[in-house]
Amino acid sequence: MSYRFSHRIYRLPLQTPLRTAHGWWAEREGILVRLEDESGSVGYGEIAPIPWFGTETMIEAEEICRKFSDMVSDDILDNTPERFGCVRFALGQARERRPANASANRLPVAALLPSGKDGLRVFPEKLEAGFLAFKWKVGVGAVDDELGVLDDLLAQLPAHAKLRLDANGAWSRREAGRWLARCADRPIEFVEQPVAPTEEDTLLGLANDYPVTLALDESVVHLSEARRWQAMGWPGVFVIKPALAGPLNEVCDWIVKTKADVVFSSAIESALGRSAILQAVLAQSLTRRALGFGVAGIFGDRKWDGPFIGPLADASCVAFNPGEDLWNALN
């Protein structure tokens, strides 16, 4: 099939900049793509790269879009190199022509806590709002300081709630050992990416040496990487950001076929990318773990944020057709 292709760039300030082990993140850049098929049916997709996370850069994504002519075919789109996972996600989303599935399924959502002592300030508010799963960014401050905050958080954590720790690969082997020893008898759901993705032997060693569930995140940016770790016998969780991983249908097929233990996580994409992901996740039994989409209102603009996502994600939080409105907003 042939399509008329066009693209538009967006830049959105984050309402509250995010502090991670890689530094402060204050602005979201991305690209919206538009495909109109021979029948006049229009689809939209979102390219939302995170270069420091291991994706293509904005410059690379723009170059690919510029190289496409006004008319493209399925063959041309399918030949986009695998390492451009964000571009491939968007092209797959824009070509999807099935109607949105308003599934009756519901899944819990994990609230994102800011790093350091700010996590203690935000935690009661999220708990009061009804969240029962929480993700706290670590690996930002001194280990002793953060371990003290961990003790304070766990002291407030109800018995039925779950806490996830995300180090973004910032720890050394020694620091990871300290954390995992402290977490061994604590109600920690999992520790995410304790050391850098390049430290593969260390990751496998930590997973086997400590009775704490570990999760891969930066190590599995692309679906091919998740498949490779699975073939290596990874015993833990895969944190998958579908907007980075490649075509959504391929991600879903892999989970269904291999029964991978997956957490779906936001890449701070807009309502356009998020709606496609949540539609697919809610329509299928792909995970029982809380979704990593507790970033509601991150842009401070309802058009781009989409419907509010609270402690539970269901059909009511999916913006079924945000593409045209967002596309026109960039005109």
Q: H helices within the chain, ranges in order?
A: 58-67, 74-78, 85-95, 118-128, 143-156, 173-183, 200-209, 223-231, 242-245, 248-258, 271-283, 302-305, 323-329
Closest CA to 197 of 227, 220, 166: 220
Strands 291-294, 2-20: pairing is unpaired
Cα(272)–Cα(47) distance, integer angstroms = 10
SS3 category, 169: coil
Amino acid residing at 279? Q
Which tokens belong to 68? 């496409």
Phi, psi of 124 (to 5 degrees): -60, -35
Which tokens belong to 94? 């824009």
The residues assigned a catalytic role are 137, 241
Number of Cβ within a 10 Å radius of residue 321: 10
Closest CA to 299 of 262, 331, 264, 329: 329
Cα(165)–Cα(179) distance, integer angstroms = 10
Please tell me the total number of residues recorded for the chain in this structure: 331
Based on the number of CB atoms within 10 Å of its own CB, is 39 exposed (0-12), middle (13-18) or buried (19 or more)? Answer: exposed
